[in-house]
Amino acid sequence: MKVVSAIKRVPESIKNHFDQQFKQVEFIFCHGIEEAEPYLSEADIFVTYGEDLNPERIEKARQLKWIMVLSAGMDKMPFREIHKRDILVTNVRGIHAQPMAEYAISMLLQVSRKAKTLIEQENKHVWNRRPVMNEVSGRTMVLLGTGAISQETARLAQAFRMKTIGVSRSGENKDHFDETYRVDQLNQVLPQADFIVAALPSTKETQYLLKNEHFQAMPEHAVFLNMGRGDLVSTDVIMEAVKERYIDHAVLDVFEEEPLPEDHPLWNEENVTVTPHISGISPFYMPRAFDRFGENLHLYLEGKEEMHNKIDPKRGY
Q: Under the rule (CB under 8 A), what is the footprint of a copy of itself?
A: 98-99, 102-103, 105-106, 109-110, 113, 115-116, 118-119, 121-122, 125-129, 131-137, 155-156, 159-160, 258-260, 262-264, 267-268, 273-278, 281-284
d(CA 73, CA 89): 13
Provide the minimum distance between the beta carbon of 66 and a copy of itself in the complex, in angstroms, as a whole number: 29
Which residues, 6 or more positions from 175, have their beta carbon under 8 angstroms from its beta carbon?
151, 155
Provide the minimum distance between the beta carbon of 244 and a copy of itself in the complex, in angstroms, as a whole number: 22
CB closer to a copy of itself, 84 vs 221: 221
CB closer to a copy of itself, 50 vs 313: 50
C-beta separation of 249 from 275 below 8 A: no
Provide the minimum distance between the beta carbon of 216 and a copy of itself in the complex, in angstroms, as a whole number: 25
Helix/strand/coil for 5: strand
CB closer to a copy of itself, 23 vs 132: 132
Residue of 44, 99, 90, 58 lying closest to 71 (CA atoms):
90
Provide the minimum distance between the beta carbon of 35 and a copy of itself in the complex, in angstroms, as a whole number: 22
CB closer to a copy of itself, 103 vs 290: 103
Provide the minimum distance between the beta carbon of 306 and a copy of itself in the complex, in angstroms, as a whole number: 27
Provide the minimum distance between the beta carbon of 62 and a copy of itself in the complex, in angstroms, as a whole number: 35
C-beta separation of 251 from 276 below 8 A: no
What are residue 68's phi and psi, to 5 degrees? Answer: -100, 110
CB closer to a copy of itself, 85 vs 155: 155
Q: What is the DSSP string of 173-205?
A: --TT-SEEEEGGGHHHHGGG-SEEEE-----TT
Q: CA torsion angle for 45, 51, 55, 61 (degrees, to 10)?
A: -20
CB closer to a copy of itself, 40 vs 238: 238
d(CA 185, CA 139): 20
What are residue 48's phi and psi, to 5 degrees? Answer: -150, 160
d(CA 252, CA 262): 15
d(CA 108, CA 197): 10
CB closer to a copy of itself, 110 vs 203: 110
Provide the minimum distance between the beta carbon of 53 and a copy of itself in the complex, in angstroms, as a whole number: 22
The DSSP output letter for 275 is -
